[in-house]
Every structure is written in C-alpha cells, then in structure tokens.
Structure 1
Amino acid sequence: MTQEKIVKVIGYYRDPGFLERIISNFRKLWVDIDWMTARKINDEGLYEVYLSIRNVKNTELAILNLSKTVDIEKVEVLEDGKLVKYYANEKGEISSDENEGNIRIFVPVYSKVTTYSWGEKSGS
C-alpha cells in the first residue's frame, strides 16, 4: 500500500487558476493526488484546500515548491493525519454508521503539523 500525506493549503483565490496552480505543482513532479476538497474561510477570498497526495521521492520538493507559489500563504503537512468517515442522511443527521446515511464525509484528524512558507520550514 502506498503511503499518503494529507496536506492543507491556505491561499487567496483571486482567479480560477488558483486550484490549477496547486494541482499542476504536484503533477509536474509526478506526485499523484488521490482526492482534494476546498472551502472558503473568509470574505477576503482566503481558501483552505485539503489534499491527499502520494508519498514518493518528489513529494518534499513539490511541497516546498507549492509553498513558494503565488497566492499561497502557507502549506501544512498533517504528519500523522488520517481520515475519519462520517455519513449524513437527508435530514442532516451525521453518524459514523455506514447504514445511517447516503452522503460520505471525510474529516482529517491529526495532532502534528509541519508548516512551510516561502520554501522554508517555519513550524513543526
């Protein structure tokens, strides 16, 4: 089984190329993205993007390059990150039982974060 890293990217969505820059940063170094999700944090256009990427030999370089990308504030690697599945039904009730809902929600759970900003490790 291939190891994965869960990465959280904080950046400003100024144009549709924001998500394209994130994705192409990994693809040009042959780092596969298994899934991604994004949400708006505030009215100034700050977005939070979560990605699950394959841990290959170019992964560290791709993360450093991404932290130097235009409109990216910081990149956080959730070192011990794992996903917890929840299920929601039509009424909006959330459960951890697969039979209780028809919408699957993945929530990243972690306790250690390594932060990169402008190509440098700025926190751990």
Structure 2
Amino acid sequence: MTQGRLLRVTGYYRDPGFLERVMGTLRKLWVDVEWINARRVNEEGLYEIYMEVKEGKNTNLAILNLSKMVDVEKVEVLEEGKVVSYSFNNKGEISDNPDEEKMIVYVPVYSKITGYSWGESYSKDLHG
C-alpha cells in the first residue's frame, strides 16, 4: 500500500507552465509530491500525469482545486492501489546494483478510480 494518494491528472500541455501549474496547485496547500511520471497520450497535446502525493489535511481540497484548473480535463484518485517500481540502468536493463546510475519508474496498480472534473465526482470499480 502507499503512504499517500495515487493520482492520474489528464490535461492539455499547451505551454511549458502546465506541469508547473499542476505542482503549484498542490504545493500552494502544502501537499508534497513523492514522485511524478508523465506521458503524451495523443498528438493534440493530451498528457497523463501519474503521481503520488502525501496524505494531509489539505489533500482533498488540493485535488478538487486541481480538477478545476485550466487545461485539466480530469483528476483521478487511483484507489486500493500500490506502486511497483522498476530500476533501469543506462543500457535499458533492469538493475538493482546500487553503484550504477539508474532511472526508477513507478507503476501504479489499482482496482478503483474516483474521478473529479470541474468539481463533479464519479467512481469506477475495475473489478466489478
């Protein structure tokens, strides 16, 4: 299990400030980000940002604020989940050698989604 919340933010990367605004919305309410991964979904500039945020008294408010942000389509809380990490060396091989330079990729595994879009919420159970 995670110590915080797993989030998937879907939005349009129209300018370099998009990631900055996402992070700023969280940090404005003192919500710490443990890790972040992002990928482009299509040619129109739609991106998915996966992250783990620390649980705190302002986490729910920060998620709602994020869902109302310009260029954000939706924010989804990936519930009942865990994170699997993979370490890759500079040759692209999986590596656990502590002396090697490596990149760690975090992959969330989850079974339920609670989503928010402009303050409206929905829920999806992936196993039922």
Settle same-fold status: TM greater than 0.5.
Answer: yes
SS at match of 1:98: coil
Runs of 4+ in 1 over 6 A off after TM superposition: none
* Counterpart Cα distance in 2 of 1:90 and 1:51: 23
Partner of 2:46: 46
Map Cα deviations across residues 26-67 of structure 1 (whole Å, 9 max, x no partner). Answer: 111111111111111110000000111111011011101100
Tell me the TM-score normalized by structure 1: 0.86
Supply the distance in 2 between the matched residues of 1:103 and 1:64 (Cα, whole angstroms). Answer: 31
- The equivalent of 1:98 in structure 2 is 96
Aligned length: 121
Between the aligned partners of 2:92 and 2:16, the Cα distance in structure 1 is: 30
The 1:57/1:41 distance shift into structure 2, 3 A limit, reads same
Instruction: Give the gaps of 5 or more residues in structure 1.
Output: none
Q: Which residue of 1 aligns with 2:81?
A: 81
Please provide the CA RMSD for this pair: 2.1
Structure 1 residue 87 displacement after superposition: 3.1
**TM-score normalized by the length of structure 2:** 0.83
Distance 1:89 1:23, change over 3 A: closer
Does 2:70 correspond to 1:70?
yes
In structure 2, stretches of 5+ residues that fail to align are none
Amino acid at match of 1:118: W
